Amino acid sequence: MADMVTVRRENSVATLAIARPDKRNALNADVVAALQEEFDRLDADSSVRVIILTGEGPVFCAGADLAYLQRINANNVLENAEDSETLMRLMFSIRASRTPTIARINGHAIAGGFGLALTCDILVAASPARFGFTEVRIGFVPAIVMKLAIERAGMGRARELLLRGHLIDADTALSYGLLNHVVSEDALDETVDGIASEFATLVSPQAAAMTKQLMRDVAPRDLEDAMHFASRQNAISRETDDFREGIASFLEKRKPSW
């Protein structure tokens, strides 16, 4: 499984890439397991300030590969339930991670590949990339990715994307709220590296982790409950080492030491 993904570290920035360019970085059980193992390791490492998720070659991820589809077509209900749970755990791990994440979308992101990108906090795409949930066109249901699509695009946009199974271009995906940035292929690395550098040098890792958790916690609450909860979390955040260092560095007009 080790050759299914690659990990590159530059100081506190980690890049995790699917390494199957000859298969358009398509997903199978081994790829999912390798991504889970490496992502968990990176997220548990306090020296990692940001994780970039990408694919090697010209495609981000084309969804499930043919052999994988043939295998799950032959599975029984229990085997398919276990397989589905494995993919769900990977996507949830990335979505719920302590560490900020960036999807570096170097090319097409389709079906589960698009879902994988949507687990990230910030999505940066090269302009030629195409996106879509094509599951319904092979009799599949885009179940695991559904919450991610609705959260980003809203029910109206997500309903059409999930039901029609068509592909959209990067500018359309941006207008739907599915992406944060669309740039030229030449500017992709510069843009991603610039955002990653901010996380690595300017953003408090404790504050980022707490902010990510707080966004998950307040989302299902009504306004009053959310604001009361957030007020308590605000008070707790003031007791962290990063808060004290951030205030001290601001008053002393120096860069913080996280």
For the segment 101-158, what is each residue's pLDDT rounded down to a tens digit? 999 999 999 999 999 999 999 999 999 999 999 999 999 999 999 999 999 999 999 9
The CATH code of the domain at 2-200 is 3.90.226.10
**235 pLDDT tier (thresholds 50, 70, 90):** very high
Q: What span, in angstroms and rounded, lies between the C-alpha atoms of 174 and 181?
A: 7
Report whether pLDDT(75) > 80. Answer: no
Other Cβ atoms within 10 Å of 108 Cβ, number: 24
Q: What span, in angstroms and rounded, lies between the C-alpha atoms of 237 and 196?
A: 23
- Of the candidates 30, 28, 52, 29, which has an alpha carbon nearest to the alpha carbon of residue 39? 52
Strand order across the beta sheet in which 168-169 lies: 109-110, 130-132, 168-169
Structure tokens at 170: 């990067």
252 is catalytic: no
Question: Tokens 């030629």 map to which residue?
Answer: 128
Q: What span, in angstroms and rounded, lies between the C-alpha atoms of 48 and 213?
A: 18
Structure tokens at 216: 């998950």
Instruction: Tell me what pLDDT residue 65 has.
Output: 84
Least trusted range by pLDDT, from 46-50, 71-75, 166-170, 218-222: 71-75
- Of the candidates 145, 142, 135, which has an alpha carbon nearest to the alpha carbon of residue 178? 145
Crossing angle of helices 205-218 and 223-237, rounded to 10°: 160
What integer best gives the mean pLDDT of the chain? Answer: 94
Report whether pLDDT(35) > 70. Answer: yes
Q: Which of 135, 198, 224, 245 is catalytic?
A: 135
For the residues of 82-118, what is the DSSP string, one character each? HHHHHHHHHHHHHHT-SS-EEEEE-S-EETHHHHHHH
Q: What span, in angstroms and rounded, lies between the C-alpha atoms of 221 and 155?
A: 19
